[in-house]
Every structure is written in C-alpha cells, then in structure tokens.
Amino acid sequence: MTRRQLPHDTPSRSFRAVAYLPVLAPEMATPRSPSRAPARARPRPVPSLVQLRRPEVRFRFLDALWIQVTGTHCNIACRHCFISCGPKADQIPMMSTGQVEEALEEGRSLGMRQVYFTGGEPFLHPQLPHMVRAALRLAPLTIVTNGLLVDAAAVRMILEESQRTRYSLDLRLSLDGTTQEENDRVRGRGTFEKVLETLRRLGRAGLSPVVAVVEHEGVVRAESRERFRQLVRELGIDRPRVQFLPLFRMGREMRRTHGYHDLGLLASAPLLSEVESRLPCATGRAVTSQGVYTCPMLVEHGSARVGERLAGSLHPIRLNWDTCQTCMLDGMNGGN
C-alpha cells in the first residue's frame, strides 16, 4: 500500500517555524525601525499588509487531482471539519460516476500524476468500486476516509483492485488522538474504538494505511508522533505511516477557534519559490459536482471556483483566502 515514488517527489518539509516575512521574496520591503531612520528624515508611511494584494501562485503542473466524490455527504460531523461535512450536509452534491470518469479522463490528458478520492466520506458512494477501478487504470489512487465504513467487504475490494493494477492504491485514514478522550472530542463519541477496529482489520489483511492526524488541542506532532506509531504497531501494522496535518480554521472549525486573526502573512510580495512549490494550488486542482476549485480546502468557497472543467483552470491564482496562510506556514501540499 506504499505509494510509488515519483520522479518529481521531494522530501516533506514543514515551514511551521519560519517567521512571517521569510516566506516572502526579497521584494517585500521590511519596515524600518524609527530608531534607525536617517537624521531629520521623515518616516515613510507603511501600508497595512492586510490591505495589499495577496501573493500570486503560478500553476506548475498537474500532480494531484482531488475528486470530491461524495461532496459534503459524510456519516459523521467532526467538530474540526474545514468543509462542514456531515449526514445532512448537501451543499456540495455527490458526483455521478460519469462526472468522476470525465474528470479522470481530463486529468489523464493533462498529465496528472496521482488521484485522491475525498468527500465527505468516499465509502458512502454506491459506485465507489467502479470508480476506484477507473482511477487505477490511469494513476496511483489514495482514498481519504474516516475509516468507519471500511468493513470486510471494503477490505476485499481494496485487495482485489490492488492486484489488478500496476499503480498503488492507498488509504488515508483519520485518527485524531491516541486515546478515546482525545479523538472523540473532535470526531464524535465512539469513533476511536471503531477506527481502531478498522486498523486491526487492515493489519490482518497485510495493508498499511496512512494514519492522518489533525493537530488540535492536546495533539502536537513533536510530542505525539511516536505515541501514534506505537499505537498503530500494537494494532498489527508493522510499518506504521503517520502523517500530521495542520488545523484549518474554517468550516465547522470556525465555531471553535473563530477563524484567522493575524492576516499579516498574506502580504503582496512574491513568495519564495520553495514555499510556492509546496502549495497545493501550484500542482493540483479539486473537482466537485459543481466545478473545479483551487484546492480541496476551498470547495465551499464560490470565489475559489476556477472553472467548469480542468483544462480551463490551470492558471495562476492569488491567495485571496485567509486559510491560505496555514498552507504557507506548514508547507502543506496535501500529499501522502
């Protein structure tokens, strides 16, 4: 289940510790301290960073094609969900098989390197096995799931489709704590034990999913990484893969943390190339039943819709959304 290494892959890096201005190119003038101003010089007014035009990100190539197969329809309603998915969430409808196949074919023609099925919860889609097979004819596939519906039948499907294809089939399974208290506080009562049972089931089948952990209160990657690896090993997965993801303060999460407060990072200067290249909007697009969006984090924002079809969406975009600063600081590209 390990994704095939691709020629363009680079080691994952985090920009969390980088100060605000160093993610910007040298063109960004740093305001002078009044104590260093030349004698008798009148200080020049410095415009507010928030009022300047946001940085532009050029599109490089189509690495990741994100397909929102179930829209916002999900079997649980996580408190930190950045798209406000849930059992009654219908703001983004489920995609038809035809829409998914059309997106895959267009992605192939544009050179996509890998595909992600997401939602909502992809295992709610009645035609998921058919769509999995269609994707695996063209590229490596990752299914992003909460793991609650990965039953014995789903595991058999994963094994069968993995044997049919020359590409890798991965699962990215969410677990937001090493204890019931940590996890269930954000994902809902009873989810911790159900996810652990899914991991045991996958381990018995010889599968090793990526365990995705969102950093929320009580879970910090520096302190928690080994705890998660040890837990996954104890569940029967010999080579655990744990991926920590930043908390996006949007969607349902805004009710808890009230969005973004410091917008100074999104200034107008060009980004450093090493930061720009790691942003999901530089090498990916998200397709939904309602069109194409800059990235999977912004599919609820009409202003992030960049076209009806993929071919017309591969152009530079400006980081006009507050949540973009999370990607900038974390070097977030969304990949496994």
Per-residue pLDDT at 267 exceeds 60? yes
**Percent of the chain at pLDDT exceeding 90:** 62
Q: Which two tokens stand for residue 297?
A: 């984090």
- Give residue limits of the domains in the chain: 56-330
pLDDT of residue 247: 83
Mean pLDDT score, 253-279: 73
Q: Which two tokens stand for residue 95?
A: 């995609």
What does the pLDDT look like over 230-249, one tens digit per residue? 999 999 999 999 999 888 88
- Round the average pLDDT of the chain to a whole number and report it: 84
Multiple choice CATH, 56-330, 2.170.190.11, 3.30.365.10, 3.20.20.70, 3.40.190.10: 3.20.20.70
Instruction: Report which of residues 52 and 299 the model is more confident about.
Output: 299
What does the pLDDT look like over 56-73, one tens digit per residue? 999 999 999 999 999 999
Are 305 and 299 in contact by the 8 Å Cβ rule? The answer is no
- Mean pLDDT comparison of 13-17, 24-28, 140-144, highest-scoring range: 140-144
Cβ atoms < 10 Å from Cβ of 96 = 14
Residue 173, SS3 per DSSP? strand
| 150: amino acid identity, one letter | V
Q: b/e map of 190-205 (b: 16 or more CB within 10 Å)?
A: ebbebbbebbebbbee
| 212: amino acid identity, one letter | A
* β-sheet bridge partners, residue 145: 173
Mean pLDDT score, 278-304: 96
Mean pLDDT score, 110-126: 97
Dihedral (C-alpha) 323, 326, 329, 335: value to the nearest 10 degrees? Answer: -120
Residues 6 or more apart whose Cβ sits within 8 Å of residue 32: 43
The model's confidence at residue 112, banded by pLDDT at 50, 70 and 90, is: very high
Q: How far apart are CA 231 and CA 95, in angstroms?
A: 35
What does the pLDDT look like over 181-229, one tens digit per residue? 999 999 999 999 999 999 999 999 999 999 999 887 656 666 788 899 9
pLDDT of residue 336: 62
What does the pLDDT look like over 38-57, one tens digit per residue? 444 454 444 443 445 688 99
Mean pLDDT score, 17-30: 46
Q: How far apart are CA 228 and CA 183, in angstroms?
A: 12
Q: How far apart are CA 112 and CA 74, in angstroms?
A: 27
pLDDT of residue 256: 73
What does the pLDDT look like over 199-212, one tens digit per residue? 999 999 999 999 99
Mean pLDDT score, 25-42: 44
